[in-house]
Every structure is written in structure tokens, then in C-alpha cells.
């Protein structure tokens, strides 16, 4: 797991945000189609022609949606980001807090990477203002100011 700073997470947000939006959309679509498929499987013997046709459409659409969702998950992993709650579009930028694996987390609609959580829990906490200040001090040191 590559460790990302808050500054890097913020810089990655334009790309990661678009992928997270897709993650949220396709996860919801897959969930809906799976529910519909279960409905049809339970009612299989009582089908009308229209319902039989819809069952086939659902099966085909679900296949392509699951494939798209898998591609999105692979894309996130390729850029070093973890999906935390797919249905919310919640993604995590790996980091360390107090020598524990953690994530800076973001979901669609949030203005910035303003939260973090430990890797083994989903209790999101606000990023302390000092973490932003620490990042600015590091930037100034790098620039020789």
C-alpha cells in the first residue's frame, strides 16, 4: 500500500472523483438489476411473454453493468485508491495515522478530502486543521522559504 499525503489526495481528486461517481452509479445499477433478477427467478414458472423478455434483458444488462463495475474497481486500484463503500461512491486514499493504516476519504458531493478513517473501521472523522497547516509548512520547506 502506497502512503499518500493529504496534499496528494487533494491533487488526485479531479480524476478520482469522476471514477467515484461512476462507482456509485454502477454499484446502484448492479444492486437494482440483481434484485430484479431475483424477482424473476422466484416467479419463473408464471411468466408472461413480456416478463420473459424482460428477464433476458435484465440478465444481459446485469452482465455488462457488472463488467463495467469490475473495470471501475480495477481503475481505482491502479491509481492507488481503495473503494470503501461502493454504493455511496466512498473512496479512500491510503495513509498512516498514529502508525496505523488509514484512509483520507471522500464521496461525491463533498467539497474536499475533509475526512479520514482507520482502515479497519468506517467511522469517518474530520481532518484536523493542523494537518492542512503541516502540509503548508512542508511545502514551504521544500521551496526553501
Q: Domain extents for the chain?
A: 6-143
Q: pLDDT digits over 113-134, tens only?
A: 999 999 999 899 999 988 876 6
pLDDT above 90 coverage of the chain, percent: 68
* Percent of the chain surpassing pLDDT 70: 89
pLDDT in tens, 11-60: 999 999 999 999 999 999 999 999 988 887 777 777 777 877 888 898 89
> Average per-residue pLDDT in the chain?
88
Provide the pLDDT for residue 62: 94
Model confidence at 136: pLDDT above 80: no
Residues 83, 40: Cα–Cα separation, whole Å: 30
Please determine, for residue 137, whether its predicted confidence score (pLDDT) is greater than 70. Answer: no
User: What is the crossing angle of helices 49-78 and 6-42, to 10°?
Assistant: 160
Q: Name which residue leads in pLDDT, 137 or 45.
A: 45
Alpha helix segments (H runs only) across the chain: 6-42, 49-78, 129-143
Q: What global pTM score does this model have?
A: 0.80
pLDDT greater than 60 at residue 71: yes
Amino acid at each position: 500500500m502506497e502512503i499518500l499525503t493529504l496534499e496528494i489526495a487533494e491533487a488526485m481528486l479531479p480524476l478520482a472523483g469522476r471514477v467515484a461517481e461512476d462507482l456509485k452509479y454502477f454499484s446502484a445499477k448492479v444492486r437494482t438489476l440483481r434484485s430484479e433478477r431475483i424477482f424473476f427467478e422466484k416467479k419463473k414458472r408464471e411468466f408472461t411473454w413480456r416478463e420473459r423478455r424482460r428477464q433476458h434483458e435484465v440478465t444481459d444488462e446485469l452482465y455488462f453493468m457488472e463488467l463495467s463495475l469490475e473495470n471501475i474497481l480495477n481503475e481505482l486500484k491502479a491509481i492507488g485508491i481503495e473503494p470503501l463503500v461502493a454504493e455511496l461512491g466512498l473512496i479512500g486514499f491510503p495513509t498512516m495515522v498514529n502508525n496505523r493504516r488509514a484512509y483520507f476519504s471522500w464521496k461525491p458531493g463533498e467539497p474536499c478530502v475533509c475526512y479520514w478513517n482507520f482502515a479497519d473501521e468506517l467511522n469517518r472523522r474530520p481532518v484536523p486543521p493542523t494537518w492542512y497547516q503541516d502540509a503548508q509548512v512542508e511545502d514551504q520547506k521544500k521551496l526553501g522559504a
